[in-house]
Amino acid sequence: MKRLDPSLLSARQLLSLDACSRCGECIPACPVLAATGGGQSTAFNKITLWRRALRRGVNLTPRPPSRNGNGETPLPAAGRGWGRGRSADAAALVAAAYDCTLCGRCQAVCPVYIRTHDLWIGQRRQLLRAQVGPEAITQLAERVHLSGNIAGRPAEERLAWQRNIAELAAGPSVSAEARSEVLVFVGCLGSLYPQAFALPQALLSLLSLAGVRVALLGEQEVCCGFPLYASGLEEEALSLAQRNLAAFKAAGARTIVTPCPSCYHTLSQCYPRWLGKAMDLRVLHGVEYLEELAGSLRPLLKPLPLRITYHDPCDLGRLSGIYEIPRRLLRLIPGLQLVEMAEHHDQSLCCGGGGDVEMVNPHLAEAIAAKRLAQALDTGAEAIATACPQCKRALSAAARRARQPLRTYDVAELLLRSAELT
């Protein structure tokens, strides 16, 4: 038996494990339970397994792969792999730790205010140090190390999303070289995943309409570090933070605007903590900056009769406390009707796209997205609005799988659509 290294946990994290009163309030809050009926990743179960492993030790000896009736070794479950080999004890810990979207619902309902989001990341860090983490996380780290982004794409592709934007092609309002007080940090999803290109396109187009000149890092931008940090690789995430901060300084930026909630949280909250000092930068999510420009945008908005339901991104809502700003922006659009899902604001159900679950257990991510899509359909809405590229991808894919004609838009896309109506 081998013990997990408790020195990798902070004093608060260790105290939090003992602070759990085992009341069970977190169990029905877990999106994994809501989507699948299984509770291996509920906070209750994770803390139970983790306490046992810390106190009694955990068998980390690899178990031999099982064989089927034909004597063949079956393939591992999606995303799991046998890469490092795991005992039954270790496998249970890994499944509980990584079949979790880090959505924060358990934290929102905890009566003793345990900061579970931070706790789960500490758990993952321990498991990776014990070399029993999912193979998908190892592959993620290798991609980011080699390319600077989660997609593993060449850096020169980071500006591909700019194509076919008439406003940007017509003038120098946006530049990857120009210095500006305002810099848009696009993030890996918006830069490199075509399903998310519409988000930075809409944001930059709106800023152009408002007369705001911005700069981009272009090829100098690298991953914010959140996917690595969330998986338990804080040191690797810090290296990315240092690269981005050097690029911010070289660009002369004073305000950073990003359309991605994970990037927003990382830049505004994690970077100062990792570096041990405050940054001389103002970091805003795209919706925050658009609200500041509402006076310039409001006269441009034309009636858009549409029944919309808003999905709260976990990293923008529970993690960052931004709930009302995107709703206020939607209400600026004449004719738009906003209806709420059964679970919203701090009780909003996750889209399934967070916590690196999409890489480790894609079937689970799809099941959670399907549950959230069903809640959206129950409202009778004609479309879903959100403020996160990953949420848009997850819910759009869920609608395609369910063959439901329910489109998902970013808030900036809807504002731009209203402004461009003739």
Residue owning tokens 């689970």: 364
* Angle of CA points 268, 273, 278, to nearest 5°: 65
Fold classification of 301-420 (topology level): Rossmann fold (3.40.50)
Pairing of strands 214-216, 174-175: parallel
Distance linking the first and last C-alpha atoms of the chain: 70
Distance CA 168, CA 3 (A): 56
CB atoms closer than 10 angstroms to residue 273: 8
Is domain 155-292 classified as CATH 3.40.50.1860? yes
For the chain, give every domain's residue range. 6-133, 155-292, 301-420
Pairing of strands 383-386, 407-410: parallel
Do 155-292 and 301-420 fold alike per CATH? yes
Distance CA 342, CA 361 (A): 26
| pTM exceeds cut of 0.85 | yes
Is domain 6-133 classified as CATH 1.10.1060? yes
Task: Read off the pLDDT of residues 284-296 as tens digits, 9 standing for 90 and up.
Answer: 999 999 999 999 9
The answer for residues whose C-beta is within 8 angstroms of residue 347's C-beta and 6 or more apart is: 29, 105, 108
270 secondary structure, DSSP code? I
Task: Read off the pLDDT of residues 179-191 as tens digits, 9 standing for 90 and up.
Answer: 678 999 999 999 9
Distance CA 299, CA 52 (A): 60
Q: Facing residues of 187 across strands?
A: none
Supply the pLDDT for residue 392: 97
Supply the pLDDT for residue 179: 63
Maximum average pLDDT range among 14-28, 205-219, 380-394: 380-394
